[in-house]
Structures are given as structure tokens and as C-alpha cells.
Structure 1
Amino acid sequence: MKKIFISLLISCTLFSCSLLEVDPVSTITSESFWKSPGDARAYLTGIYNKVRSVQNNSLWGEDRGDAFKPGEIGPTSNAWAQSLTESNAPSYRDAFNIIHHTNLLLTKIETLQFTNESEKNRIKAETYFLRAHTYFFLLRIWGGVPIVTEPVLTENVELKPRSSKADVMTLVLSDIDQALSLFPEAGYVNKNFASKPAAYALKADALMWKAKVLNGGSADLTEAIKAIDQVGTSGVDLLPVYADVFDVKKKKNNEIVFSLYFERYETGNLSIATNTTSRTDNLSMAVNLADAATSPNQSRHVYAPSQKARNLYLTNPNDVRYKVAMIDLVDKDGKLVLTQTNKFRGTVYPEDRYFDNDLIVYRWGDLMLLRAEANAALNRIPEALADLNSIRKRAGLDDYSGATGKQAVEKEICDERFRELFLEQKRWFDLVRFHAGGTINIYTEVPNLNNKPGYPLYWPINYNDMVLNDKLEQTEGYTSNVSRN
């Protein structure tokens, strides 16, 4: 019954709901669930599954950026083409579904009798973390969104308008602080679950967005650095070998702060890998096919690495990350067949290759560069270069020797994040942040934005979502065909 219940995750928050969805879930909830502490942990596992499902998509963090060009199969997304409209925009209902369930768990857990108060606090802390993580996701994609902190328990849903971006950020930071106050341990129980270090990483990420995109200022940059310093006390470090970070046999390694679990039978494939690798039968002419992570059934070469991404590595021929990031498949004459990604190689099983790498949410290399970015923004250049050079050293490069003015160092950090974090679904958010901070012009950095000056960087709300909630206003910059009285 618990497994059935967890699979019946409703999607009615903020929208008109069918009683066919609400009644069965409500009946199971009241009669067969929320009886013991184990129910709360089981329910939380279901929420993690939903978070993973939403995040397992290059659409959000990569497609709108400059890391991809069309691959051999396609089709590319409207996000990649920068042709988003109200009619083709993805819905945010899955994200609000997660929020509903975090709200419900936070409500119901108070009715359960725990003999271990630490376990109750840990579950609550993880739940606050996941709600903050989801609202931060919504904030970065759509900007201001409705704020809902109570579960939907009847069909009488109170529809809410979009809150301001500032108010959403306030909720994100408040939930993170709640999580930090509740975690019973300073370190990790399991890196596939939220922890105090993961909460500090999320706090730093949110504060960097607040400082640069929402004009929060130097105080937020300083607090972001302090949060990253806290993560640094949790025992994480750069692995000596860059490729080992992504070795499927070394999941939850010493560089990982938080990742979402993937396993062949339990959940399938990491989509960022399947959509950027080619089918094996399309590469029969490649003499180095054995070196590439391909699959006859799981791969679909929707995207290839962009020439810009390749060039950023090739400016430093000794950069060991290039061959980890991508691979050129060539024929017997040395002619290029195609380039595909190489970072998340998965596991070869007797019947096929499955891309069962975990989805990395935060790792120490990412946070070191985020700290470098914060220090550079504060014009603390020596501190920024210290983290930058640590990353470069691991990559096989000499210390940065270019111009040391604030703008130049910030641009170098932006480029270094591209090289270090290629394919880790960070690029679009990095571009928006560095654009807002005045380091780059996103409209010249992203090819599909070159002829669209002023094109909105936030996403439009899906047409059906607009229809279902008459209090919503469309994202600024997009045309809406939904009438409002």
C-alpha cells in the first residue's frame, strides 16, 4: 500500500483538480498512511523520486546556453532555439507537485510519534531543503511564482498570483535556514540525501543569485563565501584525478556534496548522457568506437558539444578535462565522423550500456569556483585566484597569468566554470548570473540569442497553466492569448 501511495503523487497544487485525483489519494492518506515514522521516511523517498524526475532534463540548465549544437538525430528543443512561447513552454506543475508533497509531509509528520527525535528532525530538515531547492529552481526559471506553504487537502484550491522574485528568494533562504537548524549531524548520512553541507551549498548558490541577479549586493556575496567555507569543513576535497569524479564505480566520492541516485533497473538513464551520445550502429565506421560511451538502444544524439565549448578547452592543449568532456569519433582516414560527450559514461552490462551515473547537484569543484566568483565580485582578487588556480592545477594547467583586473578575472572564472562543469547543468544559470553581474553580454555569448536583443531570460508560463489559474500574469516579454477580465 505504501508503494501504491507514493506512486499516486497528485498534481493539483495551484490548479483546478479532478476529484478522480484527489479522492483516492485522500482516502489512502487518512486510512492507510501516516501511522508511523516509517511512513514519513517512505513519503520523503517518493519526493526525492519526483525531484530527480524534474531535474533529469537538460532543458533547464543547458539547452538555453552555449554548450550544444544540433546532433545527428534531434529534435532540439524550443529552449535551445530561444523560441519559447506561451503555447510551447513546459509546465511548472511537476515542480509545484513536489512543493505540495513537501507541504503535506511537514504537516503530517507532526501527527506521528517518534521515539527518535533526531530522525524526525532529519526528515523535516531534508523536506525543507527540497522545498527550498524546488522554489529556487522555479525562481531561476520563471522568476516570481506563487508561494504555497500549506498542502492542498480538498478540491477547494485557493488560486494564488505570482509573488515577487524577492519574496520567493526570502522563502528559499528561510527554508534553508530551517533545514540547517534541524539537521542533527554536521556531516553526511548518505550523499544521495540532503545534509547540512548540501544545505550550505544551496544557500551559497541562492545567495549568489540574489547578489547578482536580484541586486542583493556585497553582503550576500560575503554570506555565500561563509556558506561555502562551511561546506569545506565537511571533509570534501578535489579528487586528484578529474575523471574519477564521474566514474560510475566511485559514486558519492569525496568531491560530491549532494547527488541524486540513478540505477539501471530502479530508474533508467541519466538523460543528459543519453541525449548527447550516439547510437552505436551509427558509428560503425569510427576506428575509435571502443573508446566512446555509446549504446545501441539508450543513446540519442540530440545534441553535440558546440564549437565554442571545444575551443574553450583547446585554448589550453594540456587541459585533461577535454577528453573527459567529449570525444571525437574518426574514420580510418582520420576524418571526423561526429563529436559526442564523454563525461557520464554509465555502465556496460551484458545486454547494453546504461547511463546510470548519479545526477550531481553540488560538488566541491563547483563550489570552489562559486567562491572564486564571489570573491572576484567583491574585488578580492588574490582570494579568487587561489580557488581558480586550484581548479586549474587539477586540470593540468599552470596558474592563471592573464590580466588581474576585476572584469578580466570574472570572465576567466566564467570560462573556467564552463570547462570544469561542462554537461553538469550549470551553464545557463552561470550565463544569466554573469550577465546580470556585468561580466558578459548573454546576447552575444549564446548564438541563438545573437539576433534577439532583449529576449526574455525568464521562461513563459505554459498556456494551460495560465488558463487553470486566472490570477497568473504572463512573464514579462511574452505575449499571452489568455484573456483576463
Structure 2
Amino acid sequence: MKLKYIKAIVFLSSCAILASCEKQLTEKPFSFLTPNNFYLNESDARTAINGVYAELYSWDMYMQPFWNLNILDDDHVSGADWFLGTSGAGNPMGYWGVDGPWNGCFKIISRANTVLENVTLINTDIDHEVKGRILGEAYFLRAWAYFQLVQMYGGVPIRTESLSANSNQNVPRAKIVDNYELIVEDLKKAEQMLFPVGHAKAGEPGRVNRGVAKGFLAKVYLTIASAGLANGSVTVRGGQDNGYYTYPKKVVAGFEGVDSNKYFQLAADKALELINDEEYELFDNWENIWSMASRNTKENMWQLQSLAGSAFVNNLHNYFNARSTFGTGAVWLSNNHYKDYEENDHRVLKGITHNYQALNGVYVFYPSWEASKYKNLNGITYNNNGTTSDKAYTIKYASVTNPDLANSDAYLPLLRYAEIYLIYAEAANEVHHGPTVEAYRKLNKVVERAKATAAPAGMNQQEFRSFVLAERAREFALEGVRKFDLLRWGIYLDVMNKISLGQNNISKIRTQKNLLMPIPLDEINSNTMIKENNPGW
């Protein structure tokens, strides 16, 4: 990163944690800074780490491209063809933001490297515990960015030094397992350096803490373990008829020879450690997760922050909500996935919008086959034409300050405590070659919180594995989890192609090239050590 751009970065970043955001947006940027006159004290260190977080809010990342390329590309999502016709239909090269995640994640990595190199040298006018925390945040964010990259692109160049005019930009792609080695190493460092949630020096809401580092470490272990598993099968509900299909487990390319049992054990141990820390708790009612009052509390371990009236807003509400400046939203759950929930499961009973008024004034209900419940409500008659009206809109991004704006202050979950329970359940089942009492207990904590029926007793290893995978799909729908679950289990192509043509004529047909994203041509043209793109691109 060229040093003359440091202030531009930190000016944007000063609201990354959204503490005193309105005041900080008025600060004047300096014209030029060097390490000698910038990294002098604790205030400089805080500003620098905010600059790493700031990239999350860019048009490379969560302003749209990052969630577009991941949330829209799974078996349970549907939407308007004008929006899902590119990345949602397996054609990411047709999407304007296709290079965003690569560029954005490497900016995070570069900025984190700058923090690690320079904040380390600050020894005066700084609380050394806060200094350690800031370095821990930098290690975590670097690991998080590499985790996203390796899942999306396969092995990527490892850069652990900041970029400068004199640095070597030509770095070859590392092996996938080497990328994961760095990710694990960085997360372990972060875990040791960060404070637990609620600690006086843990930092403002929106910063990562020790529990978040532990949670992602468990998630990374689970990803390695499941990707490397060489036998077994998974049953998934889907296809045109929404039936149950069993697919053989395939080793994901790059994970050959991985000791899956070792990593499943590590995932189970780390998830259980985090649970036993008792620093977080599930909300009693599933729907409470998504209220504005619940932000950054209880199970919302790490969320993308936002602030109405500032530059730190996003368009999640506009695309996912039933009522939108488009008239209605552009993204919804498929009817088939809706039918995978029990009728009284709060994740559809309360988590899907059943009655709403579109921007044109028309009152609509969903789904058409439940007219007796939703057609007439509070003296209003709602409509559904039985085809294009059947759109299962989530409430997850509906709670915003002003729902009539295209860009608003929706929060996006980056890690929820419910996932830690499901990580433990999945990993323990694999370690013990079948579900243990404790695996059932952790699974049912999530299932029963949603008011769904407890998992069936007496399941074998494959049945429990498949149930957990389905439960993750029900719990984390439209949160950017499902695609990576299918990829790490090696069944993404099977599941997508079994559907072929999805709801609203959205193509679910995928080929081998869709297993990885295309590397940006700018990277290939400028980095002489990368000779070719991912297969098929």
C-alpha cells in the first residue's frame, strides 16, 4: 500500500466501528503521512486498524459484490432474473463486481500487514494491552480475508508484508493447505491477543474479540476436515421434485491426504471450548436476533456494522426485503426450501414475510398454498396469483431506520453463536462415527429454539451428518453459508445440477469451472508468477 494513501484509508475507516461516527466524518484529511510521523501513539494505532475494517464497507466487499457472489449462488435462493441472471445463474463474469472479493480481501491483507509492521514499533503513549489487542485484530482480519479467498479461488498468493513501491508484486499461488496453515496460525495468534467480549479493553461494538477468533478457528478446522473427508455420503433435499437424494462424498481438490479425523476433533474441541466459556448465549426467540435492539448482543458475535445517515450504509434491505424501491425485493428463498421447514418453525412462521404491501400499493400474501392463513388479515384482503407472487422474503435485513431508502442501515451477520453449536454437532458426529448424546444436545439447542421438532433419535453417522447440513441451511438461509457448505462437502455440482432450472427460471446448472471463482485479469497481467486462470475461466 502506498503510504500517501494511508490517510484516505483511515478517514474512511474512522467510522468502521461506528463509534462517534458523525463527528469523525467531519475530520480533515492530512495531505501526506509516513510511518515516522503517523505511527506515534495509541490514537494512530486505533486509526490504522480501523482502516483495515473499512474495506469491509467498500464496493469491492459488502456494499454488494461479496455477498452477491456468495449468497446468490446456492440451491435455496431465487430472485429476479435481472439480478440473479449473472452470479446467481453461474455466470459471475457477467457481473460488474466479479473482481471485488479478490481485490477487497487483498486490500484487507495489505492493510493488516501494515498495522502488524508499524503498530509493533509503537512503545510510547500507548496502552500495551490495547496495542496487543490491535495487533490481534490485524492477525484476525488477515486470516479472515485469506479464509474467504481460499474458499472462493483456491490457493492464492501468500503476502505477509505490506506493499510498497519497492516490494515484489510477483508472488506465486500457494497450495491450498499452505493458505490454511497461515490462516490457522494467524487465528491462534489473534485468540491469544484479543480480549473476551465484554472486557473493558475489548473495543467498540463491531470489533472482533477472542470469542470470534475461536469461532472462526473452529469453522476453519471444520472446513478442512469436511473438504478432506474421503468416504461416506450426504443426503440432500432438492431437485425439481424437492425429493431426497444421496450423493457420494468427494475429496475437494487441494485437500488430498488431509487427516480429516484430526481436524474434526480440533473443530469439536474448539467449538466446545467456546461454548464452555459461556460468553455468548442464544436468543430465546429466533426472531429477536434480527431486531435493531439485538445488534451486537448475545449470539450476534460479529456483525457488519452500519449507521443511518452516514456513508456506512448498504443495500441489503432493498434487495432482500418484501417491499423495496424496486417495488418488491430482488432476492428470496425458493418455494422448495420453504417447504423444508416445519409449519410452526419460527424461521418461516416468523422469519418469512407472509403479508406485505408492494411499492405499487398491491397487498400480497405468501405462500399461495396457505391462503387460509394469510389471505385475509386485519380486515385486508391480500393477493397471490399462484406463480410470480410466490416469493419467500426473509425478515433478516428488514429492521432498518428508514425502509423507504435504497441504502439503509441493515446489519449482516458474519458469525452467529448458533453456528458454534452446529459446528460441534457436525464435528463430534464425524469423530465418533455417529452422533453422541452431546452432539444431539447441541444440535437440538438450535432446532428447538426455532420451535421445530427435535432431531430424530437413533440416527446413524450419515443421517445425522445430513440432518446437520440441512439444519445449517434452515438456520443460516441467505446469510452466505450454504454455498460454502456444499463446496466443502464436495456436493455443490451434484446438488445444483439436480435442480437444473430453478424457480423463476433461474439456472442452477453448474460446471467444474464454477467450483472456483475467476482470478481477476489485472492480477494475471501484473503478477508474472500466475500463469493461468482457474480451470474454465
Amino acid at match of 1:335: N
CA gap 1:465/1:204 in 2 versus in 1, 3 angstroms = same
2:188 is matched with 177
Identify the structure with bigger relative contact order (alpha carbons < 8 Å, sequence gap 6+): 1
1:312 is matched with 340
2:522 is matched with 464
CA gap 1:156/1:186 in 2 versus in 1, 3 angstroms = closer
CA gap 1:56/1:229 in 2 versus in 1, 3 angstroms = farther
2:321 is matched with 277
Instruction: Pick one of 210, 216, 232 that aligns with 2:224.
Output: 210
1:335 is matched with 384
Amino acid at match of 1:40: A
Amino acid at match of 1:67: H
Distance of 1:138 and 1:394 partners within structure 2: 33
Q: CA deviation at 1:344?
A: 1.8
CA gap 1:131/1:375 in 2 versus in 1, 3 angstroms = same
What pairs up with 1:35-434 in 2 under 5 angstroms?
35-53=40-58, 54-57=61-64, 58-71=67-80, 74-76=82-84, 78-85=86-93, 89-91=98-100, 92-114=102-124, 115-185=126-196, 188=199, 189=202, 190-213=204-227, 214=255, 215-232=258-275, 233-278=277-322, 294-296=323-325, 301-313=329-341, 316-328=342-354, 329-330=364-365, 332=381, 334-336=383-385, 337-339=389-391, 340-349=393-402, 352=405, 355-378=408-431, 379-382=433-436, 383-401=438-456, 404-434=459-489
Q: CA deviation at 1:429?
A: 0.9
8 Å contact kept, 2:281–2:299:
yes
Per the alignment, in what secondary structure is the counterpart of residue 327 of structure 1?
coil
Distance of 1:338 and 1:424 partners within structure 2: 21
Q: CA deviation at 1:139?
A: 0.7
8 Å contact kept, 1:275–1:302:
yes
- Which structure 2 residue ranges, 5 or more long, are not aligned? 14-28, 228-254, 355-363, 366-374, 376-380, 502-506
- Once the two structures are superposed, what CA deviation does each residue of 1:184-242 show, in whole Å capped at 9, x if it has no partner? 55765345111111100110111111112234411111111121122221421111110
Per the alignment, in what secondary structure is the counterpart of residue 413 of structure 2?
strand
Amino acid at match of 1:113: N
Per the alignment, in what secondary structure is the counterpart of residue 468 of structure 2?
helix
8 Å contact kept, 2:156–2:175:
yes
Amino acid at match of 1:431: L
Amino acid at match of 1:458: L
8 Å contact kept, 1:348–1:354:
no
8 Å contact kept, 1:372–1:385:
yes
Q: CA deviation at 1:84?
A: 3.9
8 Å contact kept, 2:384–2:390:
no
8 Å contact kept, 2:317–2:407:
no
Distance of 2:42 and 2:407 partners within structure 1: 35
Per the alignment, in what secondary structure is the counterpart of residue 426 of structure 2?
helix
Tell which deviates more after alignment, 221-230 or 199-208. Answer: 221-230
CA gap 1:185/1:452 in 2 versus in 1, 3 angstroms = closer
CA gap 1:255/1:35 in 2 versus in 1, 3 angstroms = same
CA gap 1:333/1:125 in 2 versus in 1, 3 angstroms = closer
Q: CA deviation at 1:338?
A: 5.0
8 Å contact kept, 1:187–1:195:
no
8 Å contact kept, 1:186–1:234:
no
Q: CA deviation at 1:303?
A: 1.9
Per the alignment, in what secondary structure is the counterpart of residue 66 of structure 1?
coil
1:14 is matched with none
Q: CA deviation at 1:323?
A: 3.4
- Which structure 1 residue ranges, 5 or more long, are not aligned? 10-23, 279-293, 480-485
Per the alignment, in what secondary structure is the counterpart of residue 381 of structure 1?
coil
- Once the two structures are superposed, what CA deviation does each residue of 1:251-298 show, in whole Å capped at 9, x if it has no partner? 1121122222111123444444321225xxxxxxxxxxxxxxx3448x
Q: TM-score normalised to the size of structure 2?
A: 0.75
Tell which deviates more after alignment, 118-127 or 460-469. Answer: 460-469
RMSD: 3.0
Q: CA deviation at 1:426?
A: 0.9
Q: TM-score normalised to the size of structure 1?
A: 0.83
CA gap 1:38/1:234 in 2 versus in 1, 3 angstroms = farther
Tell which deviates more after alignment, 355-364 or 195-204. Answer: 355-364
Amino acid at match of 1:421: F
CA gap 1:445/1:174 in 2 versus in 1, 3 angstroms = farther
Tell which deviates more after alignment, 122-131 or 358-367. Answer: 358-367
Per the alignment, in what secondary structure is the counterpart of residue 332 of structure 2?
strand
CA gap 1:296/1:459 in 2 versus in 1, 3 angstroms = closer
Tell which deviates more after alignment, 316-325 or 350-359. Answer: 350-359
- Once the two structures are superposed, what CA deviation does each residue of 1:77-123 show, in whole Å capped at 9, x if it has no partner? 52211124599742412211111110011111123224421011000
8 Å contact kept, 1:60–1:141:
no
